[in-house]
Structure 1
């Protein structure tokens, strides 16, 4: 594979560090076809004016974040805008000390499009919207941009978009800010444009500050930030995009909140989002949340501890092991097969060789042996994750590259590359695994 070194480096370094790369995912995507197809079906619904909500559930390292980022790449190719954020102790869906607003800020900071995939696309989107309307108006009317009638024609189309927002919650103020931005764009007033962008990013702390700088007596808060996400979705459709996809990962950080009332408020916010999307109260909007099985299914602290959510999300009576319903709101990730993992490490070996400029020496037999060793661990059928296998394999590649005198076959079969063997304690019969490790 011919991959730019910048992308190859991001892939290898990210995976070695245990995180999902933001770029280059198509080069290493394997499996997950059914999950991706199901999520992209939701995308078609969103483009037609609908909305969708999904949970992606899998244990640590199982590929949740990888799937989210893969879908992110796919939908940006379909002209969607994507915002994403990982929850943390400082970022929640609801809070009394700005945690909900902090999540909104992170989402808007990471606003991405196909032409700006790394985030920070808000200003680009606003400018592109106005520029597109000007170009369309000039083509339809034949007016010169210096003609006073041209500006009136442009304003007419601007107000068509703004008028569609006025009926929504907080739509009047949102529309007013778009008007301020348009006038600043027309007059070349970069300072006023920056103030509007600052407001959209949720960076005004008081209404007084917003009133003095922009003339609007409202700011985005912990309680209403989600309403502005819905407004953005409709605006983006009017601005020429297909819609808005919201990706929220690490739901486990809500599960970890010690205060039960605070947890319930956060789950109530999830219920609001879920109901809005399924009842048609949101348009051109998709929401995907990622979490571990425990943080979803634990009836004491998890999402299922909120009965209104549990009754909506729990599997029905027909669900059983080995049968997956990809149309359900909760998608459980099954482990990648041995064959899929083999394909993945073959791709990584090629990328690694291309990045460091050497001829690949690992044979397919070597890789098969590696996979057999990894999946030969005690408990690997239920505990091993792609993250662990990938990190081990990249470490193997690094060692072989830096120590060319080492034969891969000898390394894999040596005592220094020991894999899990059952050691029976003669006293109590307990089985203790020794996990794979490199000892070079």
Structure 2
């Protein structure tokens, strides 16, 4: 396509275009606007969408997404997040860190729970902070019933059968009663659900319950919340946890094992039918999962459940397995992606796109012609370089792309061709893109 030809990319609102450009240039995944730039990953997305159907039917699922830094794990997680919200799910996401783990004696597990609840999102509140919105919708649905009291008890009955369910149901009844105008008590319930009560004494004084969410029980309350959401009119709950590498980095082996034991608990619950309307997806690097000394596979009970069987091999992956390995984007997919970005950039800054398909192919040729590109270049770096290129060309209209690509910063090994073009298995050469 020449620069003057009309683009098939839908017009992107300026607010969303700004988020996309700034986030991608900064090397982070935008939380909105992903459908405008999603390419490839069809098989992975189809597999995860199948999981959503299972969750909506009352089941549960657990998946690992495994890929190198910048390979697209976080992007795929956010893409599924968008799909799930569109299908009526409530989504909670959190990145692990030294302060946020799955298990810990210093509040690290509770910190992860708090982050999940803080990022609680729905279709109408996609940027997080949807806890009160969800509860108010639940109250409104109860009030619409011919017999509100009977409807309330019917929804609480399956919750009360679960671990800690009696206390959770009691908290929900308090919120329902307080919704009539007791803002102080309603705020106390929200604080309790966010895990902000430090002691049971404090919770008892404010709400009359002798329990609070803590490091040891936060996952049980996550399961309760997922079951509650179904009664509140949602399809279920999807929990996204990224940066598992922060568990791999824990220096104390016993602490690491406790965290992996928590993963095993979650995994067993979802596959054995002990959790309902709940999906969990965790993202990590190959090392953080497969390293048998410090990674998830160092916990034998997990390794024996998660490691691939004898039939899986490169190019022949089982998308129904608990671990999904992300294959690199193909050259064709990257070409489509940077074409979309070129259109979004031109639309946002109000200029006519100057780069045609030949220019985009030339850019990718140089990017993948670098020494070591076959093992180290990721979509994140390609995207960051491309947006930087667009920014410079936009601010310097007298400059042509070849000047930039021929500069020292873009100098590559393509002239010598010693390393060859970084072709990946199953991908075609850039020569096939020539027009």
Of residues 40, 60, 83, the one that matches 2:69 is 60
1:328 aligns with 2:321: yes
What secondary structure sits across from 1:261 in the alignment?
A: helix
Structure 1 contact 86–249 (Cα < 8 Å) conserved: yes
1:353 aligns with 2:346: yes
What secondary structure sits across from 1:43 in the alignment?
A: helix
Q: Using the TM superposition, give the Cα deviation of residue 409 of structure 1 relative to its aligned residue in structure 2, in angstroms.
A: 2.7
Structure 2 contact 145–151 (Cα < 8 Å) conserved: no
1:181 aligns with 2:175: yes
Structure-2 change in CA distance of 1:413 and 1:211 (3 Å): same
Of residues 97, 109, 124, the one that matches 2:133 is 124
Structure-2 change in CA distance of 1:415 and 1:196 (3 Å): closer
Q: Using the TM superposition, give the Cα deviation of residue 383 of structure 1 relative to its aligned residue in structure 2, in angstroms.
A: 1.8
C-alpha separation in 1, matches of 2:342 and 2:167: 53
Which residue number in structure 2 is paired with residue 170 of structure 1?
A: 164
1:234 aligns with 2:243: no
Which residue number in structure 1 is paired with residue 256 of structure 2?
A: 263
**Could you list the per-position Cα deviations for residues 301-356 of structure 1 after superposition, in whole angstroms to 9, with x for gaps in the alignment?**
00000000000000111111221110000000010011100000000001111111
Q: Using the TM superposition, give the Cα deviation of residue 385 of structure 1 relative to its aligned residue in structure 2, in angstroms.
A: 0.3
Which residue number in structure 1 is paired with residue 431 of structure 2?
A: none
1:47 aligns with 2:56: yes
C-alpha separation in 1, matches of 2:65 and 2:265: 18
1:275 aligns with 2:268: yes
C-alpha separation in 2, matches of 1:332 and 1:318: 15
Q: Using the TM superposition, give the Cα deviation of residue 416 of structure 1 relative to its aligned residue in structure 2, in angstroms.
A: 5.2
Of residues 371, 382, 403, the one that matches 1:389 is 382
1:194 aligns with 2:203: no
1:86-97 aligned at under 5 Å gives the runs: 86-97=95-106
**Could you list the per-position Cα deviations for residues 50-88 of structure 1 after superposition, in whole angstroms to 9, with x for gaps in the alignment?**
000000000000000000000000010110000000000
What secondary structure sits across from 1:325 in the alignment?
A: coil
What secondary structure sits across from 1:107 in the alignment?
A: helix
Q: Using the TM superposition, give the Cα deviation of residue 222 of structure 1 relative to its aligned residue in structure 2, in angstroms.
A: 0.3
Structure-2 change in CA distance of 1:216 and 1:365 (3 Å): same
Moved over 3 A (4+): 413-416, 420-424
Which residue number in structure 2 is paired with residue 71 of structure 1?
A: 80
The size of the alignment, in residue pairs, is 411
Of residues 288, 301, 314, the one that matches 2:281 is 288
What secondary structure sits across from 1:288 in the alignment?
A: strand
1:134 aligns with 2:143: yes
1:250 aligns with 2:243: yes
Structure 1 contact 378–422 (Cα < 8 Å) conserved: no
**Could you list the per-position Cα deviations for residues 374-420 of structure 1 after superposition, in whole angstroms to 9, with x for gaps in the alignment?**
11122222221000000000000001001111011333245553124
C-alpha separation in 2, matches of 1:345 and 1:320: 30
Structure-2 change in CA distance of 1:307 and 1:4 (3 Å): same
RMSD of the TM alignment (CA)? 1.6
Which residue number in structure 2 is paired with residue 341 of structure 1?
A: 334
Which residue number in structure 2 is paired with residue 28 of structure 1?
A: 37
Structure 2 contact 88–123 (Cα < 8 Å) conserved: yes
1:207-218 aligned at under 5 Å gives the runs: 207-218=200-211
Unaligned runs of 5+ in 1: 138-152, 425-429, 432-440
Structure-2 change in CA distance of 1:422 and 1:258 (3 Å): farther
Q: Using the TM superposition, give the Cα deviation of residue 422 of structure 1 relative to its aligned residue in structure 2, in angstroms.
A: 8.9
Of residues 81, 88, 104, the one that matches 2:90 is 81
What secondary structure sits across from 2:65 in the alignment?
A: strand
TM-score normalised over the length of structure 1: 0.91
Structure 2 contact 121–130 (Cα < 8 Å) conserved: yes
